[in-house]
Amino acid sequence: EAQVTQNPRYLITVTGKKLTVTCSQNMNHEYMSWYRQDPGLGLRQIYYSMNVEVTDKGDVPEGYKVSRKEKRNFPLILESPSPNQTSLYFCASSNREVATEAFFGQGTRLTVV
Amino acid sequence: RKEVEQDPGPFNVPEGATVAFNCTYSNSASQSFFWYRQDCRKEPKLLMSVYSSGNEDGRFTAQLNRASQYISLLIRDSKLSDSATYLCVAHDYKLSFGAGTTVTVRA
């Protein structure tokens, strides 16, 4: 079954404690991206990747890091989380061809206290 | 200026009504457009692609106007199950999402 898998689904952590949210897709997609969603602000792009070892900043990259060592994985790293990073996070993947659908993971609800 | 802007709504309509809303995009290089549906902060799911000629999928009609750089979605004969947030997406080399339009269909 084609899918994008995010883990964990829920996480409560403390300020400053490094964390990683994993994202994996089994569709051999080149393009992967991370979004955060906050009430009234919609989906805002954090980082995206056009292929292995190619990553670029989105609209709200501050406080986040990503890596793309393999095609299927695109982890999101918060080196020193802060309360303003409390949000709902989605990972998405698609083929690079622009006319194709994006598939989303189920989301990660992160709370930083 | 945001790349994709939507009227946030909410649109509160009775069952059976027709509801329509637009989204505008700023990047004229955008090549593909989509409408996604999101329920209660679950993951967005593709509703339909949007083509220049306009396209219809059951009760849903999407239209693209490249000259004015907007996309529209029309829902006919609204059902309770249509209550959701509808996200407009423009795709050039990356996916740009609008903030979403909330639709509530009441009995």
Average of pLDDT values for B45-49?
A: 93
Instruction: For residues B79 and B100, give the distance between their C-alpha atoms in angstroms, rounded to a whole number.
Output: 19
* Greatest distance between any 2 Cα atoms in chain B: 42
For residue B10, whether the previous peptide bond is cis, meaning omega lies within 30 degrees of 0, is yes
3-state secondary structure at position B81: helix
Q: How confident is the model at residue A81 (pLDDT cuts 50, 70, 90)?
A: very high
Measured between CA atoms, how close is B34 to chain A, in angstroms? 8
At B82, phi and psi to the nearest 5? -80, -10
Q: What is the pLDDT of residue A99?
A: 64
Give Cβ neighbours of residue A3 (< 8 Å, ≥ 6 apart). Answer: A25, A26, A27, A103
Average pLDDT score over chain A: 94
Beta-carbon contacts below 8 Å between A and B: 60
* Tokens at B24, concatenated: 């505008």
Q: What is the pLDDT of residue A91?
A: 97
Q: Is A77 an interface residue toward B (CB < 8 Å)?
A: no
Cβ–Cβ gap A98/B91 under 8 Å: yes
Residue A97 has pLDDT above 70, yes or no: no
